[in-house]
Amino acid sequence: MSNRISEVFAKAREEKRACFVAYLCAGDPDFDTSVAACKAVIESGIDILELGVPFSDPLADGLTNQLAAQRALESGMTAERVLDLVRAVRAFSEVPIVFYTYYNLVFAQGSVGYAESAKAAGVDALLTLDLPPEEAEAHLAACADADLQTVFIVAPTTPDERLPLICKATTGFVYYVSREGVTGEQSSMSLGIASRVSAIKQHTDLPVVVGFGISTAEHVRTVAQSADGVVVGSALVNCLATNLSDRTASIAKLKEKIGSLCAESSLSG
């Protein structure tokens, strides 16, 4: 079934490149700057916008994204304001939007209510980081009923025997975490990414994207050779974090960074 996510991956395949997925924390450092940041990365050529839903205990995130979530929460971001942000983005763009969230936030509202609200606002998929597929039956049903895609994570430590289960639970794309640990910029890439992507593809026809620690043009170019998509997060969040007192400067730096990285995703194929 055609949807915004499948369409951008199909388009990227035709153009012999990997999709570029940009992560930003919703509401960082404040609502208006966050909208401007989303607009900047979209206009710079990204394929998918991954919005981190601010959470007080983001266990999978490194310091950069922890601080981004803290700034967002302190600026007044709530569950409803995150949806307002999505609606603001939808006013000027049809780019696919994926929520990167923690299950506590979903559970507090209930999977049915959360999925329905997200879909109504314009969200295309939910990546619920700490919800294993073995315990996701009700959540998967709620997403299916709301016509929301699901994204599940494969880690370097994931046993091969779990891959079929993870892939079966996924309807949008599979997210391979390129290294153990938390999110954050890294100077070097993990080894074995291509072989792990290949192993995942043995169990699904869905796209496989790679994220966590990808922060340079060389990283993007390397991952784009084997994966269907490349996720960059902390390197973008840092563009905002280092210019908190000057929104114009932070948005300009964000555009410069995203432009240099997006260009590299076209080298796949």
> What gap in Å lies between CA 219 and CA 232, rounded to an integer?
10
CA-wise closest residue to 64 among 188, 238, 257 = 238
> What gap in Å lies between CA 172 and CA 176, rounded to an integer?
13
Q: Are 24 and 51 in contact (CB under 8 A)?
A: yes
Angle, CA of 195, 197 and 201, to the nearest 5°? 115
Residue for token digits 């971001």?
A: 77
- Tokens of residue 100, six digits: 């990167």
C-alpha distances in Å from residue 132, one per residue of 81, 84, 115, 143, 154: 27, 28, 17, 15, 10
36: exposed, middle or buried (C-beta count within 10 Å: 0-12, 13-18, 19+)?
A: middle
Residue for token digits 């905002």?
A: 240
Could you give the residue numbers annotated as active site? 50, 61
State the DSSP code for 54: P
State the DSSP code for 161: G
> What gap in Å lies between CA 37 and CA 83, rounded to an integer?
16
